[in-house]
Chains A and B, each alone.
Chain A
Amino acid sequence: MNLLETKDLTKAFGGVVAVSDLNLSIREGIVFGVVGPNGAGKTTLINVITGVERVTKGSILFKGRNIGKLPTFKRSLEGITRTFQIPQCFTGLTVFENILIPLLLRFPTQEAKKEAERIAERMFLKDDLDKQAQMLSVGRLKLLELAKAYATSPKLLLVDEPMGGVSLDMMDSLIDLIKSLRDEGITILLVEHVMKVVVALADELVVLNFGKEIALGKPEDVMNRKEVIEAYLGDEYA
């Protein structure tokens, strides 16, 4: 069974159609890439799957169940968590507290505290535990954003452009980190711009343009397709 399925998923804001008739099937345990030029509807897709935006038409099935009516927080409790493009951490709280909070929701206090430390270590944040989130550099903030999401014991993790503003060596660490999350059994939907990252991580890939699916398949196959090149660079290059 597919972990996540969308059927004719459409989201319109007034006259602007951000996502149009998407039919995606995401198997468990893979990294599913979502790429496309700016404004293609990638973040909207994440917003709709997590419930931040309501579906205009179509449906979303998680583990076979229609989750359209569930509010965002319930979807997180079901196992769908996302990270934000601009990290949304609890800036006045420490790194430890940031990771602890989602854990407290799901585990008894003592266990949660131990797990928070374990996760921090896994995410290379062990030395920053007592630092306030607002003191962190961009790269560490991204790690914290991932750590918080990881702490929700997600089945499906939607990662929104994690590489934005990240240095090149940090990028390799992030790639390895996301790979290890997948290897742990977490299904990942990765929205990303940086091609090197997508090619390195994605098991399957969908290319969006103007909210519509224009290609689907393995990265190597998809990236050479005429429609894809056209979408990114214009027809002269196709």
Chain B
Amino acid sequence: MQNRSVKPIIILFICLIVLSFMPFVIDPGSYKYLYNIFFVVNVTVLLATSWNILGGFAGQISFGHAGFVGIGAYTVSLLHYHLQWSPWLALPFAGVVTVLAAIIIGSIAFKLRGPYFALSTLALAEVTKLIVEGWRSFTQGTQGIVVSPSPLLFVPSGGGLYFVVSLWLAGFGILCALLIKLSKTSYFFLAVGENEDAALSLGINSKKYKLIALYISAFLAGVTGGVLATHTGFVDPSSGFDMVHTVEPIFLTMVGGIGTVLGPVIGTILLVPVGEVFRSHFPTAHLLLYGIVLVVFARFIPKGIMGLFRKKI
């Protein structure tokens, strides 16, 4: 890799390190609400980035990310509930289990293309939710599972801990996106997304690349679910598999710029704090806002904000 490509990674790490000191500057105990928003922003950046890797980089639009989030959330909760694991220990497993599920999901969904692929991911996410709901003996069904607040190593549970962890997770997601963008793989992703048959005829193993995109995306989405469950302290089928986790990454990424590394970040930073404030005053109004934004951008500004600047990263 040349020097040029290392620069964004260095910038990323500097940002992460600097931001990590925030809890020492602004006290999490006194600004609980603020830290809540920060946490949501971080987690949403992670989820939007994960969706973008599959949908933006590789052109495979997924309507089923809520499924991955739910699987991750339940992995952490079930390991905590049945084996008394600390949720922090279970977190990486949330990602792994979600990838395993993605192997099954991918083998079904990738038999289809384009809109039919999108629909089948939606259907598969719903089926997963129904299975979790129905398998009461294992998952407690609609009753849900409580995840007790747990310290991570020597750091007690609290706004500061969640902020820093979610910050670095988001950073990890962005790093994945960056590494892909800086490698040859991003071109093959693009080719497969633009015209799969042309890509095949040129020697690109489209199936392999679609699966790579899916697995990375699933891992990150699963981790998102896991950390969400830990933060909320509770998960049940409707919250774990909430459709919001499917729709939000889509429109945030579209606003920011689909297919770019910064797109999901920009979209999230612009809209989520606004949405959160909205939500506390007009519950569910924020969904209306999201819907309108999605339609406006998809129709008039399909390349998003990054598209207005014509950058590729």
Contacts and interface: CB of A to CB of B under 8 A. Distances in A.
Q: Which of A71, A73, A89, A91 has the most CB of B within 10 A?
A: A73
Given A90-B191, A100-B187, A101-B188, A76 B201 contact: yes
Interface string A28-71: 00000000000000000000001010000000000000000001
Given A101-B188, A109-B184, A73 B194 contact: no
Interface string B212-241: 000000000000000000000000000000
Interface of chain B, main secondary structure: helix
Contacts of B199: 73, 101
B120 interface: no
Interface footprint category on A: 20 to 34
B256 to A, nearest CB: 18
Contacts of A135: none
Contacts of A100: 187
A22 to B, nearest CB: 21
Interface string A199-237: 000000000000000000000000000000000000000
B194 A91 contact: yes
A90 B190 contact: yes
Contact of B198 (A89, A97, A109, A151): A89
B185 to A, nearest CB: 9
Contact of A152 (B184, B190, B202, B206): B202
Given A100-B187, A105-B188, A109-B184, A91 B202 contact: no
Nearest to A145: B198
Contacts of A11: none
Interface in A95-149: 97, 100-102, 104-106, 109, 148-149
A187 interface: no
A72 interface: yes
A52 B196 CA distance: 12
Nearest to A148: B202
A93 B200 CA distance: 17
Nearest to A51: B200
Given A89-B198, A90-B194, A73 B187 contact: no
B142 interface: no
B201 to A, nearest CB: 6
A74 B205 CA distance: 8
Contact of B187 (A77, A91, A104, A151): A104
A104 B184 contact: yes
A103 B214 CA distance: 25
Contacts of B205: 73
Contact of B195 (A90, A97, A105): A90
Contacts of B203: 73-74, 76-77, 81, 102, 105-106, 152
A180 interface: no
A102 B203 CA distance: 7
A88 B200 contact: no
Q: Which of B184, B194, B202, B206 has the most CB of A within 10 A?
A: B202
Contacts of B194: 90-93
A152 B203 CA distance: 8
A76 B187 contact: no
Contacts of B184: 104-105, 109
Contact of A90 (B198, B200, B206): B198
B16 interface: no
A91 B204 CA distance: 17
B197 A88 contact: yes
Nearest to A50: B201
Q: Which of B190, B201, B205 has the most CB of A within 10 A?
A: B201
B176 to A, nearest CB: 20
A77 B195 CA distance: 18
Given A90-B194, A106-B203, A109-B184, 17 more contacts: A52-B197, A71-B200, A72-B200, A72-B201, A76-B200, A76-B201, A76-B202, A77-B203, A81-B203, A82-B201, A89-B198, A90-B195, A97-B187, A101-B190, A104-B184, A104-B188, A151-B202
17 contacts: A52-B201, A72-B200, A73-B201, A81-B203, A88-B197, A88-B201, A90-B190, A90-B195, A97-B190, A100-B187, A101-B188, A101-B202, A101-B204, A106-B203, A109-B184, A148-B202, A151-B202
Closest 6 CB pairs of A and B: A76-B203, A88-B198, A90-B194, A102-B202, A77-B203, A72-B200
